[in-house]
Amino acid sequence: MIYLDNAATSWPKPPGVLAAMARYMTEVGANPGRSGHRLSVEAGRIVYAAREAVAQLFGAPDPLRVVFGLNATEGINLALRGLLRPGDHVVTSSMEHNSVMRPLRALEREGVEVTVVPCSPEGTLDPQAVLAALRPHTRLVVLNHASNVTGTILPVAEVGRALREMNGPLLLVDAAQSGGAVPIDMQADGIDLLAFTGHKSLYGPTGTGGLIIGDRVPLEEFRPLIRGGTGSRSEREEQPDFLPDMCESGTPNAVGLAGLEAGVRWVLEQGVEAIRAHEVALTQRLLDGLREIPGVTVYGPADARQRTAVVSFNIAGMEPSEVGMQLDEEYGIMCRVGLHCAPAAHRTIGTFPAGTVRFALGAFTTRDEVDAALRAVARLAQG
């Protein structure tokens, strides 16, 4: 079996991830922050260690500004619902995932104005076009760091630094595809809010992720998605007004966060730059090989340095679903087909409504696996 679906969920995981989760379940198991006994204290320590690891990886201003939730989607919804009000204006791109577009369209019906800046057919974005779309009442700019369809990396740092220089709107970055795969420094890149997920290039389990809230975000104006028990200020019936408690109600996924910390520590030990170099080399090999196969159309930039390890393609005369089924059943290659929950991106690159076949490499992908995938696509293209 060859697993090329890392943009959906990375697999396999580093051995330390399973070990950390098993240790939590067998040796700790308690509720973090809800009791004063030693196991609860240890559970709280594990959750805080996960905050520290995430903050270190992303250059966050403070581990306590790392708010945990289920995934990047929850983090994005928390940021959008937390900040935007009727009459506000938000700018985004035409390469966004539905985790951005669906909540924005819902907010649009509630009176929030939305401007979608067009990207090129390769998925690239001109940062000046984003700045030109700003209005006096623009509250937020929302951009994915890398497309889950083409892997195209958007110029979030250029936009973020420009917004900081003009003391402009806040920048929310969807780092679901880039976190752990591309270097990110929130403070250097001018990122005010960073939504991340644990189960992709952070090599943690599903059900982990969240939002990092920068120090430019006005907490007095920020609204949590849910309210409830936090283990703090229990004498009050009002939600705490400090992070992370104000945005974290209910018992957290502590066993998942134990695994997330192990995944992030593994990424830090390997080095994001080293992981990036490995993925760029394999992605370039895949891109070059696919483009040499007659009948195959490859989408996105030709230079792997301009994208993550996500490659979408189609074979002439074959539906993406047919290609995906044959790759699985005949060649043991796991990939994803269709619209990838990103119809706006597929409209941008001209593949809507059928979508594409997507290969997504990861830190554990090998050169031999890439070559095997190329041979399989060549055979399918030959009919």
pLDDT in tens, 181-192: 999 999 999 999
Are residue 198 and residue 344 in the same domain, yes or no? no
Are residue 219 and residue 308 in the same domain, yes or no? no
Are residue 361 and residue 243 in the same domain, yes or no? no
Q: What are phi and psi of 294, to 5 degrees?
A: -60, 135
pLDDT score at 210:
98
What amino acid positions are annotated as catalytic residues? 341
d(CA 238, CA 101) in angstroms, rounded, equals 31
pLDDT tier, 352 (very low <50, low <70, confident <90, very high otherwise): very high
Of 270, 289, 309, the last residue of a domain is: 270
**What average pLDDT does range 26-51 have in this prediction?**
95
**Percent residues over pLDDT 70 in the chain:** 100
**What average pLDDT does range 208-222 have in this prediction?**
97
Of 236, 270, 304, the last residue of a domain is: 270
**Overall number of domains in the chain:** 2
**What average pLDDT does range 67-72 have in this prediction?**
98
Are residue 21 and residue 6 in the same domain, yes or no? no
Quick check: helix, strand or coil at residue 137?
Answer: coil
pLDDT tier, 383 (very low <50, low <70, confident <90, very high otherwise): confident
d(CA 276, CA 180) in angstroms, rounded, equals 9
Are residue 263 and residue 278 in the same domain, yes or no? no
Are residue 196 and residue 256 in the same domain, yes or no? yes
Host H or E run for residue 337: strand 336-338
d(CA 344, CA 231) in angstroms, rounded, equals 41
pLDDT in tens, 283-314: 999 999 999 999 999 999 999 999 999 999 99
Of 270, 304, 338, the last residue of a domain is: 270
d(CA 344, CA 352) in angstroms, rounded, equals 8
Structural domain range at position 237 = 15-270
**What average pLDDT does range 244-253 have in this prediction?**
96
Are residue 137 and residue 284 in the same domain, yes or no? no
Are residue 146 and residue 235 in the same domain, yes or no? yes
Burial of 228 (0-12, 13-18, 19+ CB in 10 A): exposed
Are residue 45 and residue 61 in the same domain, yes or no? yes
pLDDT score at 368:
98
This prediction has a pTM of: 0.97
Are residue 318 and residue 252 in the same domain, yes or no? no
pLDDT at 34 over 90: no
Are residue 200 and residue 155 in the same domain, yes or no? yes
pLDDT score at 322:
98
pLDDT in tens, 309-342: 999 999 999 999 999 999 999 999 999 999 999 9
pLDDT at 373 over 90: yes
Are residue 112 and residue 243 in the same domain, yes or no? yes
